[in-house]
Amino acid sequence: MPFYLLSLLAFLAACTSRPALRVEEPIPEAPPENIPEDFPFPEETYTAMDLVIQRVKRNGGDIKKYFLLDGDYHIIIKADIPGSDDSGAEFEVVYDLENALPLDGSRLTVDFLAEEKSTGLRREDKLLWTAGEDSAGILLGFDDNYEAQWENYFDLFDRYGARVTFFVQEQGPFCAEALRRGHDIGFHTLHHPDLRKVSREVFLAETISPVDAFRQSGVGLSSFAYPFGFSEPWMHETLAGSFGIQRGYGTSFRIYNEEALRAGYISSRAIDNTVIKDDEDFDRYVALMLRTLKFLGGDHILPLTTHDISETAPWGITPRRLEYTLKTARDLNLKFYRYSDFAR
């Protein structure tokens, strides 16, 4: 075969074996996750919603979160975020901490819903949250005269690094031992009366008169808990010179910063068996309270109150519930505070 025919055949075979040349429009990459704070977003590529979603997933300190309580005192965690473009768009973000999925250690996956307020455009996504170190913590208190029960759980408190405050009605060996173990002692009157229904003379005898004897024995009594949580404003003024912090309690979720704690009077959330009757409800709500406290960031502190530690006592907490509370707080890197840590 002539050489020029061999060359032509070789050229044609090479052409047919090559893929056809395709020209495609470039596809924008999805915004990367775990973006550093100063990441230069190409705003012309992504919508305002895209950019807000990525800010929420980054979960930086530039997002100011807050909580609301609905009619059933259920906690709702939100944030309001302006759009990053010139459109004036505003977004509301709702976080689902109640159904957050624990991973390992202090990491959780949190679902959230972002909504553009003016258009109603919504998008769901999730973020990876690590509950790191900060000043957030709980003030766990035990009221009344259950010293014989309380001391049985000193080792449990040690296991979780927990330090608590016992509001007692009488002076005795328990106070010295609790202080030696790193806990705190507050005062809860001598006979647990409803202070609104006694004379001023009895009021002083129940609240201020016994303090010197405690303090002379080395028990500082820097805080005071009102029996039944009942008080009136004149009582706060009368006791302010004797106690750095006065405490009531109720069933509402309230958190404080250090400045508010040092102001003098606070209310604590009751977690007794009679207040939250079902174990599943207890676990769900305690986890939600503690996650909310930590997720809001900063120096937020949550006071919690119970009484006896018992399987059956209505005004008390079961050992299982107590350990669940301590473990959940530790897993979230929450600190355990005593009332004396904030008393003026």
Residue-wise pLDDT for 315-336, tens only, equals 999 999 999 999 999 999 999 9
What is the per-residue pLDDT for 42? 55
Secondary structure of the chain in HEC code, one letter for each residue: CCHHHHHHHHHHHHHHHCCCCCCCCCCCCCCCCCCCCCCCCCCCCCCHHHHHHHHHHHCCCCCCEEEEECCCCCEEEEEEEECCCCCCCEEEEEEEEEEEEECCCCEEEEEEEEEECCCCCEEEEEEEEECCCCCCEEEEEEECCCHHHHHHHHHHHHHCCCCCEEEECCCCHHHHHHHHCCCEEEECCCCCCCHHHCCHHHHHHHHCCCHHHHHHCCCCCCEEECHHHCCCHHHHHHHCCCCCEEEEEECCCCCECHHHHHCCEEEEEECCCCCCCCHHHHHHHHHHHHHHHHHCCCCCEEEEEECEECCCCCCEECHHHHHHHHHHHHHCCCEEECHHHCCC
Distances in Å between the alpha carbon of 272 and those of 124, 162, 226? 36, 18, 16
Angle of helix 319-331 versus helix 279-295 axis, rounded to 10: 20
Phi, psi of 167 (to 5 degrees): -95, 105
The region of weakest confidence among 64-78, 149-163, 207-221, 236-250 is 64-78
- Summarize the confidence of residues 249-270 as an average pLDDT: 94
Phi, psi of 70 (to 5 degrees): -80, -170
What's the pLDDT band for 29 if we cut at 50, 70, 90? very low
Distances in Å between the alpha carbon of 155 and those of 77, 144, 323, 332? 35, 21, 11, 21
Residue 140 has pLDDT above 90, yes or no: yes
Phi, psi of 24 (to 5 degrees): -120, 150
What is the per-residue pLDDT for 281? 95
What is the per-residue pLDDT for 10? 43
- Summarize the confidence of residues 147-151 as an average pLDDT: 97
Give 121-126 contacts, CB < 8 A, sequence gap 24+: 121/49, 123/49, 123/53, 125/53, 125/56, 125/57, 126/57
What's the pLDDT band for 343 if we cut at 50, 70, 90? confident
What is the per-residue pLDDT for 275? 95
β-partners of residue 225 are: 247
Distances in Å between the alpha carbon of 4 and those of 12, 268, 334, 341? 13, 98, 85, 98
What is the per-residue pLDDT for 18? 39
What is the per-residue pLDDT for 237? 96
Residue-wise pLDDT tens digits, 170-227: 999 999 999 999 999 999 999 999 999 999 999 999 999 999 999 999 999 999 999 9
297 φψ region: left (φ > 0), alpha (ψ -120 to 50), beta (else): left
Task: Give the global pTM.
Answer: 0.85
What's the pLDDT band for 79 if we cut at 50, 70, 90? very high
Residue 31 has pLDDT above 70, yes or no: no
What is the per-residue pLDDT for 314? 94
Q: How confident is the prediction for the chain on average, in pLDDT?
A: 88
Tell me the C-alpha distance between 293 and 287, whole Å: 10
What is the per-residue pLDDT for 11? 41
Residue 151 has pLDDT above 60, yes or no: yes
- Summarize the confidence of residues 24-44 as an average pLDDT: 49
b/e string for 54-70 if b means 16 or more Cβ within 10 A?
bbbbbbeeeeebebeee
- Summarize the confidence of residues 226-234 as an average pLDDT: 97
Of residues 336 and 33, more confidently modeled: 336
CA angle 110, 112, 118 (to 5 degrees): 165
